[in-house]
């Protein structure tokens, strides 16, 4: 999914906006695109092939950030993880800018 950040005098917003009618994987794909746009990281989300007692469990996802991956995660945990990635990059960038020390 391709998203853009639109800057205006009153702030910024993402286009297209999140649509609550989308299915969970599409919502997560949108969130991945926003985090990638804001951080410059290479991020992907996929449906997890997660089985419990031989039965495939629906609603679980894997996240890949660069060469690292995590999963299976529920929808909410995946969303929270992506927010954490974004916050971590933002804070690391701010710290680096204020301390002028190499990361």
Cα separation, 97 vs 56, in Å, equals 46
H or E element at residue 30: helix 24-39
Q: What pLDDT score does 97 carry?
A: 65
Residues constituting the chain: 103
Q: What pLDDT score does 41 carry?
A: 96
Q: What pLDDT score does 102 carry?
A: 57
Cα separation, 64 vs 69, in Å, equals 4
For residue range 21-58, list pLDDT tens digits in order. 999 999 999 999 999 999 999 999 999 999 999 999 99
Model pTM greater than 0.85?
A: yes
Q: pLDDT-derived band of residue 93, with 50, 70 and 90 as boundaries?
A: confident
70 CA to centre of own chain: 12
């Amino acid at each position: 999914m391709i998203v853009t950040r639109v800057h205006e005098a009153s702030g910024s917003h993402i286009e297209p906006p999140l649509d609550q009618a989308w299915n969970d994987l599409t919502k997560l794909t949108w969130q991945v695109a926003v985090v990638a746009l804001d951080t410059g990281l290479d991020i992907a989300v996929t449906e997890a092939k997660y089985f419990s007692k031989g039965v495939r469990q629906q609603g679980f996802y894997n996240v890949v950030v660069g060469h690292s991956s995590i999963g299976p995660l529920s929808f909410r945990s995946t969303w929270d993880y992506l927010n954490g990635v974004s916050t971590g990059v933002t804070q690391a960038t701010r710290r680096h800018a204020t301390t002028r020390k190499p990361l």
